[in-house]
Structure 1
Amino acid sequence: MSDCLFIQRTPEETRVGLRRGGRLWELEVDHTGGRSLSGNVYRGRVVRISAEMNAAFVEIGLEKQGLLHAQDVWLSTQHHSRPETLQSGVDGAPPSRGSAPKIDSIIEIGQEVLVQITREPIAKKGPRVTMFPSLPGRNVVLLPHEPHVGVSRMIDDPDERQRLHSLVHRILPRELGAIVRTVGEAATEAEVANDLAFLRAQWFDLKERFAHASAPSFLHADLDLTLRSLRDRVTAQTETIWITDPSDRDRVETFLKRFHPDLSPQVREHSDNTSLFMTHGLSTEVDASLNPQVTLPEGGDLMIELTEAMTVIDVNSSRRKESGRLADSQLRLNLSAAREIARQLQLRNIGGLVVVDFVKMRRVEDRRMLEAVLEAELSQDRARVRISRMNRFGIVMMTRKRARQSIYGPLTDSCAVCQGRGYVRSATDIAVETLNRLRKTLRSAHSTDLLLRVEAPARVAAVLQGQLAGVIDDLAERHGAEIVISALGASAKDSNEVALSSRPGGSAH
């Protein structure tokens, strides 16, 4: 299955899309000059300690302070080094840091620390930071404060995992750690050594900057979105890289020679007046990625709903009558949903807790098959995903590591009417409330010859002039008043506001 990488860069934004097998699988949009906050390193100052959260708040020079949990505090007084002999186990993740001590026993207010952003600010939450930085290269990620050697879980060949583990263990000083990335599979010793040498030099330079900086100070940023996409998204399956900015060609080709000397994707420049994403049909897929409903090939659909605490995905069966056994059709639908869910999580970059409500299946073997397919599909995700077993209600829970904001961040705004809830007050309820306001106004009026004007959104005005018209006429007659209902223009169609004005005497105009 071939990949095609699209990099659309304009003065306003950088937009990157990865198409795999003819479908959009990854999307990243940046309106800040191509750089995100995730991966940035700062010299920060501890300004507050929360015993309840077992965390500290660190001033790093951004709008919101960074949250530093106790388990993310690095104690420089501890001895950190790998054992000289090679240990069994080549898992990609560093070993657990154990139970976290009390935050006020390991850090104090006013202390200046080197921290890296691991999760960008999301909604009302500030960035999450750690004192265990990681510096990504092409084939490996350097872990300066974690003397552990690991291999990406996506490299599943045992012999290759052991080769890479032994190689890094031999090259890297014992006080440092590293994880071999998925793209590092089959990397030569020279390629790994060059990567590690580059990252070590970067780390020593970063420490030098920290020593001479005052808090809060910015010290280091990851590559911009264009080069970061080349580093992280280009693989042996990448056939073509499309760019839009002529000035990018030299640096793209130079970067590919430096980080991908064994690959030769074709770099093509888009010169059409139409945008790159529109020309290749990606804009339609981007629009679809913002729709909560996703149609499945088997006839059902997914409903993807984001909340403050989690993302909920509901698998709905088709209303059309299926041929064959019900259990078989349920399995086919759920398997189709599992494959699409894996794609949607990556495409929308959904992180945190995800709860999936599959169509309930009675057969245990069907549930186990679904779990296996879901795990296999999610194993290709570059973000770490942890999955629970399906319970008897058809529910699967998973967590997906959240580093950068989802596509909803740069591509959407909260609805000004519903404040992001996804619903508004009903027209009938607003109309009834308007009637109550009219009654109150008429009861307190000192004149019997009163003109009342009601300006309401079209949907509310339709209720007042329709099903409640008789009530309004009766109200006007009993109080000797004239009530005029006006519908606001189309620009106010989503407003919940109803304007009520009055003046004594006269007739409506």
Structure 2
Amino acid sequence: MSNELLISSTQKGDRIALLQNKQLIEYHVEENGNTFTVGDIYLGVVRKVSKGLNAAFVDIGHEKDAFLHYQDLGPNIRSLNKFLKNSQSNKAATHKLNGFKYEPEIEKLGNMTQVLSKGQQVLVQVIKEPISTKGPRLSCELSLAGRYIVLVPFSDAISISKKITSKEERQRLSRLMQSIKPDNFGVIIRTVAEGKDVAELDKDLSNLVQKWEEGFGLLRTARPRDKVIGEMNRVSSMLRDLLNESFDGVSVDSKEIYDEVKNYIRNFAPDKEKIVRLHTGKAKLFEAAGIEKQLKTLFGKSVSLPSGGYLIIEHTEALHVIDVNSGSSANKAEAEDQETTAFNANKEAAREIARQLRLRDMGGIIVIDFIDMKKAENKRLIYEQMKTEMQGERSKFTVLPLSKFGLMQITRQRVRPEMNVITLETCPTCNGTGKISASILVADLIEQNIEFIVGKQNEKGLTVRMHPFLYSYYTKGFFSRQVQWLFRYHTWIKVVEDTSLGVTDFKFINKQGEQIEIS
């Protein structure tokens, strides 16, 4: 299984696509100036304490106050508050916690009013980004994520990923961490740490401790709502969490991001540095890799399945609903009975649904209406298949068996707004009015504009971007229209296909790469 990461830089931000065997399985858009990312640590101010909700609303600079529940305070919140107070008053001379005297732990079923009060400053970490009309969700159990370990201040526990099953390896990692971790810092050992030597783990730990030290330095002079420790950008965090032996390519189309990614990989996986490539082709990166086409086909309300079936995906405020339909696959299965046809369609749908959940980053409650099956064994097999397909998930999830009505319920942790790509397009010819002029005139419009730009203004190095249908019209054949332009204007005019354009849309680009505005 091969994995490839594609990063395309735009004016609004970066688009990130994760491919598995050339299929798109994750898509992210990181907008410029985006704040309140999961993992960011802020110096917040308590705006309100709600006794009924047993929670506090904290101002960290977002237009909506962030939500902090009592259960997310952590047992050592009083110790954290003491550390914050000492840091701001310069009583804490160092970021190290050795010799730090802990305050008593809070009660598990206590009340928020006993811990925080209005106007109090508190150190908080974003655990869920702002979604819809809700502000960020916060926690006071701080943690700093690295490549192999997660550093947890004000704790002494050593936790090991459950995916590391070898008893000997778990004991080895536990002994190593016990010998190198700082006092009063806990660690969570990640799955990728399996088999790593002490030098690699110690380097990762040192980087996290340095990050904590830098945050401590900012904290001493921080003002309310300031970011004290920032999580790395989405590109670096994905590389940190996903990069493994199956990764065989990271392609970027920006020199700045290319250098950033190379430097990041050089620090923790020098042997993987050679997989980073700078895209310099004529076509855009996403266009060349076929991502644009996949985005248009995968984010619609209806998603087709290879055998002829399809999914209908509906979103509501409370939950997501997915309906599985056999479509034309039922007609193809002439020799199969109804039960076998339904089972095969459901099996194929389970694979695509798991991909869709990850691709769209759908969270909360998901209800799936599979095609009705009579046999209990088939229902069990579909349940097992869904659990297997979900194993690649990085978010926490729960899958329940099919009910008597053939419904499956899934809960999936959501920490970021759901990804949505608009696939319904306004008609490029009528602009939504329902009335068009003859579409055959598009060729005449292109010819008229080329005559003006090249023939009269003598523009050299012109490029025309157009829909693939128009591209074929102008380039196919030995004596194509593009060749005819060469004889007419005595200059070569490049024609580039662009699936992001409508069938009657086109753009003229000069040799400096700037779009030529036409009236």
Q: TM-score, normalised by structure 1?
A: 0.73
Cα separation, 1, equivalents of 2:244 and 2:226: 35
1:291 has 2:300 as partner? yes
- Cα deviation for residue 36 of structure 1 reads 6.0
Cα separation, 1, equivalents of 2:424 and 2:336: 44
Letter in 2 for 1:202: K
Instruction: Name 1:495's counterpart in structure 2.
Output: none
Matches within 5 A, 1:8-23: 8-23=8-23
1:192 has 2:201 as partner? yes
1:352 and 1:402 in contact (8 A); partners too: yes
Counterpart secondary structure, 2:237: helix
Cα separation, 1, equivalents of 2:388 and 2:212: 35
Instruction: Name 1:384's counterpart in structure 2.
Output: 396
Structure 1's 19 and 35: CA in aligned 2 closer, same or farther, altered over 3 A? farther
Cα separation, 1, equivalents of 2:200 and 2:36: 27
Cα separation, 2, equivalents of 1:355 and 1:146: 39
- Cα deviation for residue 100 of structure 1 reads 4.0
1:71 and 1:101 in contact (8 A); partners too: no
- Cα deviation for residue 381 of structure 1 reads 0.8
Instruction: Name 2:353's counterpart in structure 1.
Output: 341
Matches within 5 A, 1:302-341: 302-319=311-328, 320-321=330-331, 322=333, 323-341=335-353
- Cα deviation for residue 99 of structure 1 reads 4.9
Letter in 2 for 1:113: V
Cα separation, 1, equivalents of 2:327 and 2:129: 38
Counterpart secondary structure, 2:392: coil
Deviations 1:443-497 (A, max 9, x none): xxxxxxxxxxxxxx879xxxxxxxxxxxxxxxxxxxxxxxxxxxxxxxxxxxxxx
Structure 1 range deviating more: 193-202 or 204-213: 204-213
Instruction: Name 2:7's counterpart in structure 1.
Output: 7
Instruction: Name 2:379's counterpart in structure 1.
Output: 367
Instruction: Name 1:474's counterpart in structure 2.
Output: none
- 1:126 corresponds, among 122, 135, 140, to 135
Structure 1's 34 and 129: CA in aligned 2 closer, same or farther, altered over 3 A? closer
Of structures 1 and 2, the larger Rg is shown by 1
- Cα deviation for residue 299 of structure 1 reads 2.6
Instruction: Name 2:120's counterpart in structure 1.
Output: 111
- Cα deviation for residue 143 of structure 1 reads 2.1
- Cα deviation for residue 406 of structure 1 reads 2.1
Cα separation, 2, equivalents of 1:170 and 1:371: 43
- Cα deviation for residue 403 of structure 1 reads 1.7
Instruction: Name 2:58's counterpart in structure 1.
Output: 58
Q: Which runs of 5+ in 1 are unaligned?
A: 80-96, 417-456, 460-509
Deviations 1:94-113 (A, max 9, x none): xxx99542222222111111
- Cα deviation for residue 123 of structure 1 reads 0.7
Cα separation, 2, equivalents of 1:283 and 1:152: 36
- 1:394 corresponds, among 388, 392, 406, to 406
- 1:358 corresponds, among 370, 373, 390, to 370
Cα separation, 1, equivalents of 2:411 and 2:379: 19
Cα separation, 2, equivalents of 1:19 and 1:333: 24
Instruction: Name 1:473's counterpart in structure 2.
Output: none
Deviations 1:163-215 (A, max 9, x none): 43443344324632222223323222211121112112212332342233221
Structure 1's 157 and 296: CA in aligned 2 closer, same or farther, altered over 3 A? farther
Cα separation, 2, equivalents of 1:98 and 1:369: 44
Cα separation, 2, equivalents of 1:124 and 1:327: 44
Matches within 5 A, 1:115-194: 115-173=124-182, 175-194=184-203
Instruction: Name 2:249's counterpart in structure 1.
Output: 240
- Cα deviation for residue 307 of structure 1 reads 1.3
Counterpart secondary structure, 2:313: strand
Letter in 2 for 1:63: E
1:154 and 1:379 in contact (8 A); partners too: no
- Cα deviation for residue 220 of structure 1 reads 1.9
Cα separation, 2, equivalents of 1:391 and 1:162: 41
Letter in 2 for 1:249: Y
Structure 1 range deviating more: 132-141 or 41-50: 132-141
Cα separation, 2, equivalents of 1:332 and 1:125: 41
1:14 and 1:34 in contact (8 A); partners too: no
Cα separation, 2, equivalents of 1:325 and 1:99: 56
Cα separation, 2, equivalents of 1:294 and 1:62: 36
Amino-acid identity (%)? 33
Letter in 2 for 1:70: Y
Q: Which runs of 5+ in 2 are unaligned?
A: 81-105, 427-432, 436-519
2:296 and 2:423 in contact (8 A); partners too: no
Letter in 2 for 1:342: A
What is the count of residue pairs matched by the alignment? 401
Cα separation, 2, equivalents of 1:209 and 1:121: 25
1:211 has 2:223 as partner? no
1:132 and 1:146 in contact (8 A); partners too: no
Cα separation, 2, equivalents of 1:157 and 1:284: 43
Cα separation, 1, equivalents of 2:287 and 2:165: 38
Cα separation, 2, equivalents of 1:414 and 1:399: 28
Cα separation, 2, equivalents of 1:162 and 1:68: 36
Structure 1 range deviating more: 334-343 or 289-298: 289-298
- 1:300 corresponds, among 309, 323, 341, to 309
Letter in 2 for 1:260: A
Q: TM-score, normalised by structure 2?
A: 0.71
1:220 has 2:232 as partner? no
Cα separation, 1, equivalents of 2:324 and 2:108: 38
Structure 1 range deviating more: 277-286 or 143-152: 143-152
2:36 and 2:126 in contact (8 A); partners too: no
2:300 and 2:422 in contact (8 A); partners too: no
Cα separation, 1, equivalents of 2:155 and 2:379: 39
Structure 1's 143 and 271: CA in aligned 2 closer, same or farther, altered over 3 A? same
Counterpart secondary structure, 2:409: strand
